Amino acid sequence: MVFLLSLEIITLGKGNLYADPVFSPSGKYLGYIELAVDSLHRDTVKVWVYDIGKKRKYLVEKEGFERWGIPANDYYPEDYLSFAWLSDTLIIYTSDGYRIKITNWRKKKVLIEKKLSKEMYIGFPLQGIWKILPSPSRKKILIVDALGGVICWGLKKKKIWRVSKSEIDPPFLPFWINDTLMPIHRQKRLVVRHSLSLQS
């Protein structure tokens, strides 16, 4: 993966697959997930943070490929990996098709590990969580599955609820207008939905 910084080209890795390279809120760090491959097979999934000022990479987590629940024959495995920032210290990322972790990357300490129940999970087990999107205040997390279904996870009260059910349409990536409103693709229409919709 290569990115341009003040007309300086920085190479963080070659020959592998990379998912969701995202800058931290301050812009001081770049976080991403790397799917490391060798000449024979896919080997490991690594979560990285790159300190732009120090030009140093920090390995936050490393797991075997199978642990992430990605089909071995999938052509686009990076679509099953998602990474985001909650602050310059806290990161949130998918750990497998059912789990999301919030980690203090400086201490390499997992603070919260959320496993979605089979009843709440709204895609297929091997489809994985497509994207995770923190709200502007970073108090809520949108979880989007491969069929466009949307779940909201409230971090303060630690509750999780459905916002929008899955459809057969190609996934549409919603985004936050503010901490409660978001546009969502529904049956070939674009609608603005409240994040508490369908809360049980």
- Please report, for the chain, the start and end positions of each structural domain, with discontinuous segments joined by +: 2-194
CATH topology of domain 2-194: Methylamine Dehydrogenase; Chain H (2.130.10)
Q: What is the spatial distance between Cα 81 and Cα 184, in angstroms, rounded to a whole number?
A: 21
pTM score? 0.73
Q: What is the mean pLDDT of each run of 10 residues along the chain (200 residues)?
A: 56 70 92 76 80 92 69 58 91 78 93 72 55 83 74 78 61 61 51 46
Between CA 197 and CA 199 the distance in angstroms is 5
pLDDT value for 198: 39
9-46 core/surface letters (b: 16 or more CB in 10 A; e: else): eeebeeebbbbbbeebeeeebbbbbbbeeeeeebebbb
